[in-house]
Structure 1
Amino acid sequence: MPPRGQLWSEALMARQWDYVIVGAGAAGCLLAERLTQDGRSSVLLLEAGGKGRSLVLGLPIGWTTVAYGKPFNWGFRTAPEQEVCGRRVRWPRGRVLGGSTAINGMIYVRGHPSDFDAWADAGAEGWDWRSVEPFFQRFENLSAQPKSGRLRIQQASPSLWGERFISACEAAGIPRNDNYLSGDTLGAGYYYQNVFRGWRQSGKVAFLAPAMDRQNLTVCSEYLVDRCVISDGHVTGVLVRDKQNRQSLIEGRHVILAAGAIGSPALLQRSGVGEAEHLQRCGIQPVIDRPAVGQNLQDHFGTLVATETTPEGTVWADVRPWRLPLQLGRYVTQRKGLLAMPSSDVCVFHESGLGTTGVPDIQIHFTPAAGMHDEVSGTSKMDPVPGVTAITYPMHPTSRGSVLITDADASTAPEIQANYLTTEHDRQVLLSGIRTLRRIYDAPPMQAHRRAEIRPGADAQTDEALLKKAGQQGTTGYHPVGTCRMGSDQDAVVNSDLKVRGLSGLSVIDASVMPKLTSGNTMAATYMIAEYGADKLLRERDDPAR
């Protein structure tokens, strides 16, 4: 291990790396493992956050603390959102080894096959479902069907409230679906989760940790990348700063941006790739006039439908002071119980009737707890009564936003404009999700155990009232994508090989390249993009004439 401080920076500068990866999130961790697997390529992985050695990052229940709090979070907020009561919505993104996989809700959803066919139709050649499915399978390791993949995935166990909710869905006309990974996602069932033996399976745990002893992999935390260095249309490396604010030039034969839908477009813009006029206003000399960089931002916007219930089986009951020692004992002996609980166990993928027939456009997360996130304090607070909550959102929003830097300083957060609910389509699908949930709650299997509706509340009945409540209480789905869109047209930021158009030696491999948001949580699709991207890079390395 080289010495720390200035000597460490000099060690990084003393060589040219085969691959320099910026960002140790889902994509960066998988890429680092794959690109070093055969020992032939040297890889430097740079992460702005720390090593993430806290116990709370491993405990599944820890997401309630780390998702919003420091030091593992960038702490982004959107600009004021017109359709959500002018709020500046908190946008948690991971700043730690593992990235957002270290702080998220651990939900594993590939998406719907039609999502990827739509990517191909939009110009992402070779990214249709038939082409990408093998790359999901390459890294997956399902507990029920063990494979050699590194990412451990298990399905949530049946529970009292889970069975009540799924039975209520069936009574409301929504079929039970015990395996949405089969390709048919419609229906209600139990989530697949990135948890194994009661421990979060982040990108760091699944991919980075097994590779850390490789001589050809170097991982540097607490290094902030200022910009890419470009010479005659070729990227030769990156300028970085350590935590003492000392700047270093790192040389690499190929630079890979894996900084996510916020970090990657911001880094491109600071490097001179973006809308020329905007870059000049930020004091940056344009290298490539590419207005699409930072545009096409998409995210899920969810709202809560919560109801008071009888106490049995709820989190409210489990956190009573006299029961907490029992929960601790259950975790220590069985790796189960409250401490092993991710964000949600039960899912619904449903049709609003406003989209393509047979393809779900509403997602619902159900959990046996009731509470609210406090946007001021950044903490989650439980309601003083037992209850359950479901979150619903449109999976295919037509609203589009942007991520734009405001100056040349990498320490300055970019301006995020999500533009939530700015289209009639998104508002109508959200309303359909709320009313679907009320039907489910009113069905006999739930009705017998519920009390008054807590959110949005029985007084909210009209479209206008429900949308106002959604604007007051709704939040990000934690799934930003699309800001470095992949495609074959002149406006696309990267091509189908994930290379930045107009430059050599630079790729973007993360959620920002998705042309359209997938049907559900985006972590799985991001891993797939990294798996496919690594395959493309290694094939190119082994056959430069390709």
Structure 2
Amino acid sequence: MSTQENTFDYIIVGAGSAGCVLANRLTEDGKHSVLLLETGGSDKSIFIQMPTALSIPMNTKKYAWQFETEPEPFLDNRRMHCPRGKVLGGSSSINGMVYVRGHARDFDEWQQSGAEGWDYQHCLPYFRKAETWAFGGDAYRGDSGPLGVNNGNQMQNPLYQAFIDAGVEAGYFNTSDYNAAQQEGFGPMHMTIKGGRRCSTANAYLRPAMNRSNLMLVTHALVHKVQLEDKKAVGVIYEQGGRTHTARVRQEVILSAGSIGSPHLLQLSGIGDPELLAKAGIALEHDLPGVGKNLQDHLEFYFQFRCLKPVSLNRKLGWWSRLKIGTRWILKKDGLGATNHFESCGFIRSKAGVEWPDLQYHFLPAAMRYDGKEAFDGDGFQLHIGHNKPKSRGSVDIVSADPHQPPRIQFNYLQEEADREGFRACVRLTREIINQPAMDSYRGDEIQPGLDIQSDEQIDAFVRRAVESAYHPSCSCKMGVDAMAVVDPHTRVHGLQGLRVVDSSIFPTIPNGNLNAPTIMLAERAADLIRGMEPLAPSNADVSLDAHWQERQRPQEAKRKAI
């Protein structure tokens, strides 16, 4: 498409987890022209494509918006890191590549909140459409989708299986596929890796569409605002190379800038809470008070132990080992360079009376920080554990009409007592699991939190100082029909024509799991809605829940109590 052309059928803002999916699907029949705008640039860096290097792009300004929250009042006034992808593939190019759909009841919860048509039975066909599962398709898993999903190195390190066995000994289910009928339990973890490379949406969806004449990609483009005329989106104004450009649209503008970027861009365009916009010096175009509200995220902390056997990945953190791992990956695309190292996991309920899992484990056979540095000398392992169904809510609030000025981000983490209670369960239940017989030959001293952390008050204080974001901001432009909903169940912005939001910001509530998989599913289904196609037929696949969830926290008694 000639760069002289400036009118398109669709304009997509953001080439991230959702935007790349939309760019592919909206151009595949050749009937519509699409302009895809991305503030970042190329994703061809080895640090993006090599799975084991995941900590680097997340902490690099070139590839990620390095947002910070306001001081969080319930986390000792700490400012929390909130990186968001600023590169082709968006956050799917900087994330940990963990593939978790969420529990089936998470999506039923969406429908119950007013997002009609987004229950599990309607969402499952789109999860299947998106993926190629390494072990073949069935009623739950896809076998011909763009997104490659597997288990990395097939749990070659013995610590992975020991953790699963410990979970079973503690009385929980053994779950062979948590993305199928039963999430609850312990089993292998899945990741978006294909051929040893990160399977971002840029690799899976955008690259196959790049040669289509009806798709135009513009990188290093910062969108300033959506243009509105008589309550209809007619185009966007964006900046590239020091110049301001205008692109017009015949059908729709679609915001896929993420849970920070999309509400901020709506507010820059005069869409949102009138009082907030007035404070930022922005003329009101459309009163929509829910824009930026309902912000949610997952928190987690590291439970770290010394390892009694010389099997942990701490032995692979030296420069010589890293060089060998990187060289093998460059030559063969396999080995330790071709995994995110989170190869086993667990999903459990925090207490009796919780219907589906609200706690999640990522197991890592090493003890280190997110920046890839060693936590201590010697062998170790750690569990990333978090309470995944928070009650606390925050907001994304514009502070200036200058599009270069980031918004004010406040999650209000742990504001609600239920969330603090959930993290107390994280500490106590994890100790019980790790003290099962399967871990006896590996389990050394508890480094963090440390056995001196026992009472509710001590646990609360530890969590306030140690907890980190799991980097899952969402729900800031929620889908629904109530007064605070921003988009309707067809992803259209309430009260406006020609404007949609399609990304994790429109989740009504946050699922129990990592957000990349449900974001891709959402974009797949939204693409059919945008094109006016008949949605895929709903699934009738069964969902497994513990029949006695109201009376018990887990299916069986533990073999050994925590020490």
1:93 corresponds in structure 2 to 84
- Aligned partner of 2:368: which letter? G
Report SS of the residue matched to 1:125: coil
Report SS of the residue matched to 1:372: coil
1:397 equivalent among 390, 393, 397: 390
Q: Judging changes above 3 Å, is the alpha-carbon distance between structure 1 residues 226 and 160 closer, same or farther for their aligned structure 2 residues?
A: same
- CA–CA separation in structure 1 for the residues paired with 2:505 and 2:328: 40
Q: Judging changes above 3 Å, is the alpha-carbon distance between structure 1 residues 489 and 341 closer, same or farther for their aligned structure 2 residues?
A: same
1:347 equivalent among 314, 324, 345: 345
Q: Judging changes above 3 Å, is the alpha-carbon distance between structure 1 residues 498 and 328 closer, same or farther for their aligned structure 2 residues?
A: closer
Whether the 8 Å CA contact 1:106–1:343 is kept in 2: the answer is no
1:289 corresponds in structure 2 to 287
Report SS of the residue matched to 1:240: strand
1:64 equivalent among 47, 51, 55: 55
- CA–CA separation in structure 2 for the residues paired with 1:527 and 1:399: 25
Flag structure 1 segments of 5+ consecutive residues without an equivalent: 3-7
Aligned-pair distance for 1:291?
1.4
Q: Which moved more, 1:403-412 or 1:458-467?
A: 458-467
Per-residue deviation, residues 78-101 of structure 1 (Å, max 9, x unmatched): 110111121100011110000000
Report SS of the residue matched to 1:181: coil
CA RMSD of aligned residues (A): 1.8
- CA–CA separation in structure 2 for the residues paired with 1:107 and 1:67: 14
Per-residue deviation, residues 387-414 of structure 1 (Å, max 9, x unmatched): 1111111111000000011101111111
- CA–CA separation in structure 2 for the residues paired with 1:174 and 1:436: 11
- CA–CA separation in structure 2 for the residues paired with 1:128 and 1:412: 37
Report SS of the residue matched to 2:216: strand
- CA–CA separation in structure 1 for the residues paired with 2:416 and 2:117: 31
Question: What is the total number of aligned residue pairs between the two structures?
Answer: 527
- Is residue 363 from structure 1 mapped to residue 354 from structure 2 by the alignment? no
1:488 corresponds in structure 2 to 481
- CA–CA separation in structure 1 for the residues paired with 2:164 and 2:417: 30
Report SS of the residue matched to 1:396: coil
Map 1:14-163; keep pairs closer than 5 Å.
14-145=5-136, 147-156=143-152, 157-158=154-155, 159-163=157-161
1:193 equivalent among 182, 191, 194: 191
Whether the 8 Å CA contact 1:69–1:379 is kept in 2: the answer is no
Aligned-pair distance for 1:181?
1.5
Report SS of the residue matched to 2:465: helix
- CA–CA separation in structure 2 for the residues paired with 1:119 and 1:328: 42
- Aligned partner of 2:462: which letter? K
Q: Judging changes above 3 Å, is the alpha-carbon distance between structure 1 residues 321 and 229 closer, same or farther for their aligned structure 2 residues?
A: closer
- Aligned partner of 1:495: which letter? D
Flag structure 2 segments of 5+ consecutive residues without an equivalent: 138-142, 536-563
Whether the 8 Å CA contact 1:315–1:338 is kept in 2: the answer is no
Q: Judging changes above 3 Å, is the alpha-carbon distance between structure 1 residues 276 and 321 closer, same or farther for their aligned structure 2 residues?
A: closer
Report SS of the residue matched to 1:76: strand
- CA–CA separation in structure 2 for the residues paired with 1:443 and 1:540: 52
- CA–CA separation in structure 2 for the residues paired with 1:229 and 1:48: 18
2:432 corresponds in structure 1 to 439
1:464 equivalent among 454, 457, 460: 457
Q: Judging changes above 3 Å, is the alpha-carbon distance between structure 1 residues 328 and 15 closer, same or farther for their aligned structure 2 residues?
A: closer
- Which consecutive aligned stretches of 4+ in structure 1 deviate over 6 angstroms post-superposition? none
- Aligned partner of 1:481: which letter? S
Per-residue deviation, residues 163-201 of structure 1 (Å, max 9, x unmatched): 111111112112211111213100011111101121100
Report SS of the residue matched to 1:526: helix
1:220 corresponds in structure 2 to 218
Map 1:144-543; keep pairs closer than 5 Å.
144-145=135-136, 147-156=143-152, 157-158=154-155, 159-244=157-242, 246-253=243-250, 254-320=252-318, 323-324=321-322, 326-328=324-326, 330-331=328-329, 335-342=333-340, 344-353=342-351, 355-357=353-355, 359-373=356-370, 380-539=373-532
Aligned-pair distance for 1:338?
2.3
Per-residue deviation, residues 279-323 of structure 1 (Å, max 9, x unmatched): 011010011121110000010011111011135331111234554
Richer in helix (by share): 1
Q: Which moved more, 1:198-207 or 1:456-465?
A: 456-465
- CA–CA separation in structure 2 for the residues paired with 1:483 and 1:97: 22
Whether the 8 Å CA contact 1:68–1:379 is kept in 2: the answer is no
Q: Judging changes above 3 Å, is the alpha-carbon distance between structure 1 residues 77 and 47 closer, same or farther for their aligned structure 2 residues?
A: same
- CA–CA separation in structure 2 for the residues paired with 1:103 and 1:390: 21
Whether the 8 Å CA contact 1:304–1:470 is kept in 2: the answer is no
Whether the 8 Å CA contact 2:299–2:467 is kept in 1: the answer is yes
Whether the 8 Å CA contact 2:317–2:374 is kept in 1: the answer is no
Provide the TM-score with structure 2 as the length reference: 0.90
Aligned-pair distance for 1:541?
12
Whether the 8 Å CA contact 2:131–2:148 is kept in 1: the answer is yes
1:5 corresponds in structure 2 to none
Whether the 8 Å CA contact 1:132–1:528 is kept in 2: the answer is yes
